[in-house]
Amino acid sequence: MKRISPVAVCRMVLAGALAFGGAAYLAGCSGAQPAPESTFVLLDGSKQTTADLKGKVTLVNFWATSCVTCVAEMPKLISTHNKYRAQGYDTLAIAMRYDPPAYVVNYAETRKLPFKVAIDNTGANAKAWGDVQLTPTTFLVNKRGQIVKQFVGEPDFTALHQLIEKLLAET
């Protein structure tokens, strides 16, 4: 049996993720897919559901404190949130199951994250949203609660802002 190198495995995983992301984007162009029914447990212990996302354009970001790219993109997520929140935009950051809750709380408090942060203690949210394995994985949800775009890795924030503006302008 031929052995596959770790680099080849990474390339296959990335290609699959990009293909799935492309499928999610195309679905957004021809009738977006509804966001999966989920309940998110926020850091303050309150709960939010997918139904609560309706009426706003929402960025749902799966991340981890141990993810270098996630930490690097966080200031841009904060800036994006602050730029558009008065216009009906929201952000929900969901920490992965393997992320120690104390690390997530510390990160959110010390960085003064201005948006909701949830911890996916059981992994049910990641599973419901397409079995998210790679971080960061980000979904942009329109006012109707439909996923219009998925990003694996850090988004192109210029393009993201253009899409947010387009979605905010829709009635």
Q: Over the stretch 84-121, which tens digit does the pLDDT of each residue have? A: 999 999 999 999 999 999 999 999 999 999 999 999 99
26, pLDDT greater than 90: no
Residue predicted with more confidence, 27 or 80:
80
The pair phi, psi for residue 33, each rounded to 5°, is: -85, 140
What's the rounded Cα separation, in Å, for the pair 20 and 30? 15
Average pLDDT over residues 45-62: 96
Which structural domains are found in the chain, ordered by start?
6-169 (3.40.30.10)
The pair phi, psi for residue 20, each rounded to 5°, is: -65, -40
What does the DSSP 8-state code read for residue 38? -
Cα of first residue to Cα of last residue in the chain, in angstroms, is: 57
Judge whether 42 and 118 are in contact, CB under 8 Å.
Answer: yes
pLDDT at 31: 57
Global pTM value: 0.82
What's the rounded Cα separation, in Å, for the pair 59 and 115? 10
51, pLDDT greater than 70: yes
